[in-house]
Amino acid sequence: MVRLLETDVRTRDVLGWKGVHLFHFHGSSCSQKARIVLNLKGVDWQAHPIDLPGGENLRERYLGINPRGLVPTLVVDGEVHIESNDIVSLIDRRFPVPRLIPEGREAEMAELLRHEDDLHLDLRTITFRYTQPRPRAPKSADALADYRARGSGTVQGSRDPNKAVEIAFWERIARDGITDEAVRDSAARFRRSFEDLDRRLGAAPYIMGGQLSLADIAWFIYVNRLMLCGYPVERLHPDLFAWFRPLRERPEFAGEISVPPGIRKAIDENHRRQQAAGETLIDVAGL
């Protein structure tokens, strides 16, 4: 569990907060996952929206709460937790109804969530090219310099290597953009994962069998995002799509994945340009 030590936290007032607080962004896949879990549990929580497009996550106050500058961050009675899969697992333990980690299958759940987390940069790669248009350098050199300098830079008392991974990603995007090769590699990794899920869901209603679990929520978010980017889930993975369709109609899920009209318009226009140029996700990745 990635719970910060008090020495990792520079925005000290949060250490005295009571109750459940979530720092999040509406369109963040990891934030969506956490909000769906809170919805299903019926937890009374306080929202703290973070403006990612405006760079609020790279400012002094937020980096003092989460040294990685990522969302979501969960604060529970002064405890600060910063990894999304740790956050949803913690919520399941603290608020055990309904149970979302099947008893006795904790190790299997951890592996499913670890694999999902391993694809996070692949999700970001595809998202940046196939949703709304973005500048070649989404984060400026000045913004990255501030990111390096601010916050404790430590997690659980040790220098955090994840921050360097984030900086390297943004620098690579600024230098190379999102290349066709990167798209093909990321889409191939998702296709292999979706094929495995499709096999599982051909034999059971949910990923871990007969009941909804954290694995379903985590992978639901990825399927939704890939479909938004133009990935042909229904054609390539029919059992996965049959599982996805009723989940997206549930109110606990639907409101968290909604796309504002202005962003939807920008995505649709981007897709039309890509289709005219033969540069859709299907075209580039050979799906």
Residues 105-150: pLDDT tens digits?
999 999 999 999 999 999 999 999 999 888 878 888 999 999 999 9
Q: How many domains does the chain have?
A: 2
Which tokens go with 33?
Answer: 């996952």
The mean pLDDT of 228-241, rounded to a whole number, is 98
Query: Dihedral, CA atoms, 153, 56, 17, 157, nearest 10 degrees?
Result: -10
Crossing angle of the two packed helices 180-203 and 238-249, in degrees rounded to 10 = 80
Query: Where is 155: in which H helix or E strand?
Result: strand 154-155
The mean pLDDT value of the chain amounts to 96
The mean pLDDT of 67-96, rounded to a whole number, is 97
Quick check: is 272 in a domain? yes
**Is 95 in the same domain as 23?**
yes
**Is 17 in the same domain as 112?**
no
**Spatial distance between the Cα atoms of 234 and 249, rounded to a whole number of angstroms:** 16
pLDDT recorded at residue 99: 97
**Is 116 in the same domain as 71?**
no
pLDDT recorded at residue 138: 87
**Could you report the per-residue pLDDT of 251-275, keeping only the tens digit for each?**
999 999 999 999 999 999 999 999 9
The mean pLDDT of 14-22, rounded to a whole number, is 98
Which residues constitute the domain of residue 200? 107-136+177-285
Q: Is 115 exposed, middle or buried (0-12, 13-18, 19+ CB in 10 A)?
A: middle
**Is 125 in the same domain as 262?**
yes
Q: What CATH number corresponds to the domain at position 32?
A: 3.40.30.10
CB atoms within 10 A of CB 200: 18
